[in-house]
Structure 1
Amino acid sequence: MKVQVALLSWACAGLCLISYTAGFSHGAGHSACSDMRPKHISTQPQNPKSNYISVYTNKSSYLPGDNMPVTVRSTRDFMGFLIQARRLSDDRIAGTFVVIPPGSKLLTCFEDGDTVTHSDKSLKRNLSFVWRAPDQPIGNIKFFVSIVQSYFVYWARIESAVVSD
């Protein structure tokens, strides 16, 4: 009887773990909003200097209310991502995304559409977004992207160049 109870306990724990981790295949949760790290069990980010990702815009400055194209490019396939614009003055999330690529979805961390994450685990390399600046001046910003190559391999907060207000 003890063996059956132990096996049943292990099976339940395994199913809970599978359902917990399977949720990430449909995008990051709100728990990733502040530090932009996936909450995968027992994982640490890779060295940020050894990534193969670039995030950039075609503008070096913006005005309040402007729409700005943002591109994430990779030399290798990846499955998951999380992207945000953040103010340099206080690292707060800023603006909203108004155009997102297929295989992604908007996430509300601070306000509607201020973050984008993946919606499936299809392989990705190049992503294009359009970000809208807030209607009021917010200062200089950077775009930050976290990339998940596999469950155990990810890079957190890869930075764009500064975009001036």
Structure 2
Amino acid sequence: MKTNISLKDSLSLLPEAPGVYLMYSQENEIIYIGKAKNLKKRVKSYFTKNHDSPKLLIMVPQIARFEFIITDSEIEALILESHLIKKHKPKYNVLLKDDKKFPWFVITDDEYPRIIITRKVEDKNKNKKDKYFGPYTNSRAMYSTLELIKKLFPLKQCKTPRFKDRPCIY
């Protein structure tokens, strides 16, 4: 659900839900994109607190209006925030402007399935029978999951077999 909000009138109408917010300048330019587990608390904090951060001291007076998008979870908000920052490149967002994407792991549909780690969601279209898991916002959690899978299931872990006449299944 995407909603336009007048800055003056509608701070009290913000939901206590996770989501992403987009801050706009007077020129209707997106100047900042953020995420929150509680949109009401987070967005209100920009206008009710004294800020020590030089970035906020400059940015907050430039905010003319904002929009928000409600998400089902904090993780969904994090992923959406990252996507929107890469798409719009707001001038006050610096940390997520790089093109680093969240990792996924893939269990291939080969005769002897293999696990592949990827950051390219486009790869999903190459082989629709491959199974994708993710995205993982925490790489350590993904690697822990992979270690458990490797212990439980004997999946191929090499790209090509060591011997031509038998598969790699270690």
- Alignment TM class, shorter chain as reference: under 0.3
TM-score normalised over the length of structure 2: 0.23
More strand by percentage: 1
More helix by percentage: 2
| Structure showing greater relative contact order (alpha-carbon pairs closer than 8 Å, 6 or more residues apart) | 1
